[in-house]
Structure 1
Amino acid sequence: MKQRWFTFILFLSVIGTSNDVVAQSYANEVAKTLKKQILSEAAWAIKQEAITVTAQSSSRSAGGKHDFFSEGDYWWPDPQNPTGPYIQKDGLTNPEIFVAHRLAMIRFSRIIGAFASAYKLTGEKKYAIAAVVHLKAWFSDPATLMNPNLLYAQAIQGRFTGRGIGIIDTIQLMEVAQGILVMQQAIEPSILKTIKQWFTDYLTWLTSHQYGKDELNAKNNHGTCWVMQVASFATLTGDKKLLDFCRERYQTVLLPDQMAIDGSFPLELARTKPFGYSIFNLDAMTMICQILTVDGHDLWNYKTGDGRSIKKGIEFLYPFVADKNKWPFKKDVMYWENWPVAQPFLVMGANAYHNADWLNTWKKLEHQPNVEEVIRNLPIRHPYIWLN
Structure 2
Amino acid sequence: MKRIISTVLLAVCCLVVTAANPAAWPVSPKAGNLEKEATVLLRKQILAEAAWAMKQAPVTITDASSPRSAGGKHDFFSEADYFWPDPKNPDGPYVNRDGMTNPDNFVAHRKAMIRFSKVIGALASAYKITGDEKYVQQAVKHFQAWFINSATLMNPNLLFAQAVKGKFTGRNYGIIDTIHLMEVAQGALVMEKAKAFDKETAKGVKKWFSAYTLWLNTSKPGIQEKTVKNNHATCWAMQVASFAKLCGDENMLDSLRNSYKTILLPNQMGNDGSFPLETVRTKPYGYSIFNLDAMTMLCQILSTPKDNLWDFETADGKSIKKGIAYLYPFIADKSKWTLTPDVMYWENWPVAQPFLLFGAVQYKQANWYAAWAKLDHQPQVEEVIRNLPIRNPLIWL
Give the TM-score taking structure 1 as reference length: 0.94
Counterpart residue number, 1:9: none
Are the aligned partners of 2:31 and 2:365 in contact in 1 as well (CA < 8 Å)? no
Q: Aligned in 2, Cα 1:358/1:201: closer, same or farther, shift over 3 Å?
A: same
Q: What is the Cα deviation at residue 23 of structure 1?
A: 9.6
2:353 aligned to which of 337, 343, 352? 343
Counterpart amino acid of 1:273? K
Structure 2 residue 89 is matched with structure 1 residue 81: yes
Counterpart residue number, 2:181: 173
CA distance in 2, matches of 1:357, 1:333: 29
Counterpart residue number, 2:373: 363
Are the aligned partners of 1:77 and 1:85 in contact in 2 as well (CA < 8 Å)? yes
Counterpart amino acid of 1:346? L
Divergent runs of 4+, >4 A? none
Counterpart amino acid of 2:148? S
Q: What is the Cα deviation at residue 24 of structure 1?
A: 9.0
Counterpart residue number, 2:11: none
Q: What is the Cα deviation at residue 151 of structure 1?
A: 0.3
1:297 aligned to which of 296, 307, 324? 307
Give CA-to-partner distance per residue, 1:218-270, whole Å, 9 cap, x none.
10000000000000000000001110111011000011100000000000000
Are the aligned partners of 2:31 and 2:366 in contact in 1 as well (CA < 8 Å)? no
Counterpart residue number, 2:388: 378
Q: What is the Cα deviation at residue 275 of structure 1?
A: 0.1
Structure 2 residue 238 is matched with structure 1 residue 228: yes
Counterpart residue number, 1:27: 35
Give CA-to-partner distance per residue, 1:140-197, whole Å, 9 cap, x none.
0000000000000000000000011000000000000000000001211121011100
Give CA-to-partner distance per residue, 1:99-135, whole Å, 9 cap, x none.
0000000000000000000000000000000000000
Counterpart residue number, 1:352: 362
CA distance in 2, matches of 1:225, 1:245: 15
CA distance in 2, matches of 1:311, 1:24: 19
Structure 2 residue 174 is matched with structure 1 residue 163: no
CA distance in 2, matches of 1:302, 1:266: 20
CA distance in 1, matches of 2:88, 2:346: 30
Structure 2 residue 52 is matched with structure 1 residue 61: no
Structure 2 residue 151 is matched with structure 1 residue 130: no
- Structure 2, unmatched stretches of 5+, are 1-26
CA distance in 1, matches of 2:204, 2:51: 27
Counterpart residue number, 1:267: 277
SS at match of 1:185: coil
Counterpart residue number, 2:214: 204
SS at match of 2:203: helix
Counterpart residue number, 2:5: none
Counterpart residue number, 1:280: 290
CA distance in 1, matches of 2:323, 2:317: 11
Counterpart residue number, 2:44: 36
SS at match of 1:300: helix
Q: Aligned in 2, Cα 1:24/1:380: closer, same or farther, shift over 3 Å?
A: farther
Q: What is the Cα deviation at residue 79 of structure 1?
A: 1.2
Are the aligned partners of 2:147 and 2:205 in contact in 1 as well (CA < 8 Å)? yes
1:255 aligned to which of 261, 265, 287? 265
Q: What is the Cα deviation at residue 337 of structure 1?
A: 0.2
CA distance in 1, matches of 2:202, 2:275: 39
Report how many residues are paired: 367
Give CA-to-partner distance per residue, 1:266-305, whole Å, 9 cap, x none.
0000000000000000000000000001121100010000
CA distance in 2, matches of 1:381, 1:177: 14
Counterpart amino acid of 2:354? P
Counterparts of residues 96-135 of structure 1 (less than 5 Å): 96-135=104-143
SS at match of 1:159: coil
Over the matched positions of the two proteins, sequence identity in percent amounts to: 63
CA distance in 1, matches of 2:306, 2:274: 28
- Structure 1, unmatched stretches of 5+, are 1-18
1:141 aligned to which of 134, 144, 149? 149
1:319 aligned to which of 325, 329, 337? 329
SS at match of 2:192: helix
Counterpart residue number, 1:216: 226
Deviates more, 1:78-87 or 1:56-65: 78-87
CA distance in 2, matches of 1:264, 1:295: 27
RMSD: 1.2
Are the aligned partners of 1:23 and 1:352 in contact in 2 as well (CA < 8 Å)? no
